[in-house]
């Protein structure tokens, strides 16, 4: 590969109203080694994590910070240890938090965290899926120790998803519903309530009101599992009241203030974090499970068990479309995913 | 049953040097109903929880607080719904935190938290086992989601037990060793180090010194599971450093100060409480699992997989022996269990 790689990165933090929020640079394209694939990016998505990392740029950088952890593209070269993919194959993945992101023309990514893109789906549909799918899948089927196939068990269990209409919530709702769980999703306006129901939430409550009272009003005293996707500080005490004895709480958002874990002692409840980047961050032995999960997500898409959640598409991966996409996500009112097609 | 029930209880808190620490009262024996068994107590054990509950008596009580959550005895009457036991059978159990304890002649206990006492073992051997066995078993095989039979998986996993020579630690070490796990136990003096090794700890480190440095010095960077049985505040940061990505920490002791759970986020680690009383406290649907666990413990005793841990026996369940036993346990230097035989 001798093509030139166009990088869209940030040298310093700006307001997303500032046209200088992102810059474009050209570089020689890297040569993949080891387990790396070189992927020609076809589309990317913007997630809240991008906005968070951008906000974390405290001083001007000498090299651009390349964001983007959701991509679909085509393999154009492979490292000498690659065994899962061939040149020419279409792939989708979230990527590695420690490395450059997907907001560039050619990206290096370890094959063990990459899935085969199901061919029936368009780039703009697939680009919005890896990060949310990996997070939702790992939360339900690893951290909660649920089995996707154990419908008999799952049918007797209730899952509360806090922020059920968000990016991760939309996939978690679909996966949990498919696995047989009764899903209570939280949402707060007519559009997000309709979205949550459309994706399989049997019951919806409002996270701006008292969750305990609302769940009890449904005739449900305790829930077996809680997936916390937003504002842990605000909801922790409600979670502690609602979780059943021996229940499992999984959160993807961190607390800003100490949370009183002792509220869970008598119930011997479990609190687990989900961070989709963990396996690649620590280069764990089971990193390849992300390859397997994404391949399974591809099959679930083909089987129409889950549907893509892209609702907004920009054309052209450049500083201006990136800025607009970030501004939308930072606004916090998106339903579904924002995607940018490369061309 | 028209026998008189002799109750040894506490009306107010005293020093364990005070002969008035406990009082003896006689009452009519209760008649069992529902799932209750009436058990003629043969021996009891004293655990740290007894000392804690005693210390919690803040003002004089009108009725005695009957402690004791470890007993072996014989069923002398049964409620109308009892189906697991018959009159005359020997049983062992920890009991229900909300009800009167075992420091009496006749105790009511729900059959669903009672096991069949293996006949080859003496009362003083069995009385020390239920609370520690239930705690250790639930911690390993429920909260850590390990399987006792999956030796192949377990052989590749390491478990750190903080306070490995204590009551729960001694059983947890034996069960984990049997299940194939590599066990690192903490202990702090020659006697407790020898005890831990004798019960199956392959490696021992000292919990009064830096656990991270000591574990790393063994050539072990991370452990897969940590069972915290003492001083959570003191050891939490060490646990967070030592646990591997996706690892599971289970604690039976509560923190007194806020612990920084965010130290586990990047590793997506799990923190779970174990409280052996939880199932009966909340009368959960799976309460009967404690009956099953105790029966399994009986079989593991018969198979010599685990050995009793009683090291001190008092004769005669009366205020004076109870006071002496409590004083020993409160001292915090016991290795193995303190048991009181009823007669």
Closest to B262 (Cβ–Cβ): which among A246, A255, A269? Answer: A255
The arithmetic mean of pLDDT across residues A56-80, rounded, is 96
Band (pLDDT 50/70/90 cuts) for residue A333 is confident
Question: How far, CA to CA in Å, does B257 sit from each of A151, B207, B260?
Answer: 41, 19, 10
Question: Is the Cβ pair B268, A272 closer than 8 Å?
Answer: yes
Closest CA to A125 of A292, A307, A304, A305: A307
Question: Is the Cβ pair B265, A273 closer than 8 Å?
Answer: yes
Band (pLDDT 50/70/90 cuts) for residue A282 is very high
Closest to A267 (Cβ–Cβ): which among B255, B267, B278? Answer: B278
**Tens-place pLDDT, residues A116-164:** 999 999 999 999 999 999 999 999 999 999 999 999 999 999 999 999 9
Supply the pLDDT for residue B243: 98
Supply the pLDDT for residue A14: 93
**Tens-place pLDDT, residues A293-327:** 999 999 999 999 999 999 999 999 999 999 999 99
Options 3.40.91.50, 3.40.980.10, 3.90.180.10, 3.90.930.60; which CATH number does B4-129+287-341 get? 3.90.180.10
Number of A/B CB contacts below 8 angstroms equals: 97
User: Which residues in A lie closer than 8 A to residue B246 (C-beta atoms)?
Assistant: 142, 278-279, 284, 286
The arithmetic mean of pLDDT across residues A101-105, rounded, is 97
Supply the pLDDT for residue B3: 75
**Tens-place pLDDT, residues B212-251:** 999 999 999 999 999 999 999 999 999 999 999 999 999 9
Closest to A246 (Cβ–Cβ): which among B246, B266, B284? Answer: B284
Question: Is the Cβ pair B266, A278 closer than 8 Å?
Answer: yes
**Tens-place pLDDT, residues B248-295:** 999 999 999 999 999 999 999 999 999 999 999 999 999 999 999 999
User: Which residues in B lie closer than 8 A to residue A245 (C-beta atoms)?
Assistant: 278-279, 281-282, 284
Q: Is the ipTM of this complex over 0.90?
A: yes
pLDDT over 70 percentage in chain A: 99
- Same fold for the domain at A4-129+286-341 and the one at A133-273? no
Q: What is the CATH number of domain B133-273?
A: 3.40.50.720
Question: Is the Cβ pair A268, B272 closer than 8 Å?
Answer: yes
Question: How far, CA to CA in Å, does A70 sit from each of A14, A113, A120, A306, B295?
Answer: 22, 12, 18, 17, 51
Closest to A268 (Cβ–Cβ): which among B266, B267, B275? Answer: B275
Q: Is B156 on the interface with A (CB under 8 A)?
A: no
**Tens-place pLDDT, residues A76-93:** 999 999 999 999 999 999
What average pLDDT is seen over chain B? 96
Question: Is the Cβ pair B246, A278 closer than 8 Å?
Answer: yes
Supply the pLDDT for residue A4: 87
Band (pLDDT 50/70/90 cuts) for residue B7 is very high
The arithmetic mean of pLDDT across residues B303-331, rounded, is 96
Supply the pLDDT for residue B2: 63
Q: Is B154 on the interface with A (CB under 8 A)?
A: no
Question: Is the Cβ pair B281, A273 closer than 8 Å?
Answer: no
Q: How far is B261 from chain A (nearest CA, A)?
A: 8
Supply the pLDDT for residue B1: 55
User: Which residues in A lie closer than 8 A to residue B268 (C-beta atoms)?
Assistant: 138, 143, 272-275, 278
> For residue A232, what is the nearest residue in chain B, using CA coordinates?
B262
pLDDT(B82) > 80:
yes
Band (pLDDT 50/70/90 cuts) for residue B75 is very high
Domain boundaries, chain B: 4-129+287-341, 133-273
Strand runs labelled E in chain A = 4-9, 23-28, 36-46, 71-78, 90-93, 106-110, 114-116, 158-162, 182-186, 203-205, 223-228, 243-251, 270-273, 310-315, 337-341
Q: How far is A237 from chain B (nearest CA, A)?
A: 15
Domain A4-129+286-341 has CATH 3.90.180.10: yes
**Tens-place pLDDT, residues A20-37:** 999 999 999 999 999 999
H helix intervals, chain A: 48-55, 123-126, 130-138, 151-154, 167-178, 190-198, 211-217, 232-242, 278-281, 289-302, 319-330
Question: How far, CA to CA in Å, does B281 sit from each of A156, A245, B124, B168, B277?
Answer: 22, 9, 27, 20, 6
Q: Specify whether the CB–CB gap between B106 and B78 falls below 8 A.
A: no
Question: Is the Cβ pair A273, B258 closer than 8 Å?
Answer: no
Q: How far is A125 from chain B (nearest CA, A)?
A: 28
Q: Is A63 on the interface with B (CB under 8 A)?
A: no
The arithmetic mean of pLDDT across residues A236-247, rounded, is 98
User: Which residues in B lie closer than 8 A to residue A253 (C-beta atoms)?
Assistant: none
Closest CA to A290 of A302, A299, A278, A301: A278
- Measure CA A111 to chain center: 18
pLDDT(B125) > 70:
yes
């Amino acid at each position: 590969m001798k093509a030139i790689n166009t990088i869209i990165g940030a040298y310093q933090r700006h307001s997303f109203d500032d046209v200088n929020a992102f810059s474009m640079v050209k570089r020689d394209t890297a040569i993949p080694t080891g387990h790396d694939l070189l992927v020609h990016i076809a589309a990317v998505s913007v997630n809240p994590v991008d906005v968070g990392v951008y906000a974390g740029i405290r001083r001007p950088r000498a090299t651009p910070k390349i964001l983007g952890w959701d991509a679909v593209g085509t393999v154009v070269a492979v490292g000498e240890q690659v065994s899962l993919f061939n040149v020419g194959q279409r792939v989708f993945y979230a990527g590695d938090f420690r490395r450059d992101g997907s907001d560039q023309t050619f990206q290096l990514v370890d094959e063990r965290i990459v899935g085969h893109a199901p061919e029936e789906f368009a780039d703009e549909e697939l680009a919005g899926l890896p990060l949310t799918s990996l997070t939702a899948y790992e939360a339900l089927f690893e951290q909660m120790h649920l089995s996707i196939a154990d419908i008999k068990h799952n049918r007797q269990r209730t899952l509360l998803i806090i922020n059920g209409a968000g990016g991760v919530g939309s996939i978690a709702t679909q996966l949990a519903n498919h696995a047989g769980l009764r899903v209570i999703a939280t949402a707060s306006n007519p559009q997000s309530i309709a979205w949550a129901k459309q994706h399989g939430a049997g019951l919806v409550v409002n996270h701006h009101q008292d969750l305990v009272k609302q769940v009890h009003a449904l005739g449900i005293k305790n829930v077996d599992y809680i997936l916390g996707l937003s504002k842990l500080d605000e909801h922790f005490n409600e979670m502690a009241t609602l979780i059943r004895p021996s229940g499992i709480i999984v959160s993807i958002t961190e607390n800003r203030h100490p949370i009183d874990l002792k509220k869970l002692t008598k119930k011997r409840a479990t609190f687990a974090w989900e961070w989709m980047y963990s396996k690649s961050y620590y280069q764990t032995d089971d990193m390849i499970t992300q390859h397997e999960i994404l391949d399974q997500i591809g099959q679930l898409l083909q089987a129409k068990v889950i549907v893509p959640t892209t609702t907004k598409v920009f054309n052209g991966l450049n500083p201006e479309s990136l800025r607009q996409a970030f501004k939308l996500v930072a606004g916090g009112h998106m339903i579904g995913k924002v995607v940018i097609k490369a061309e």
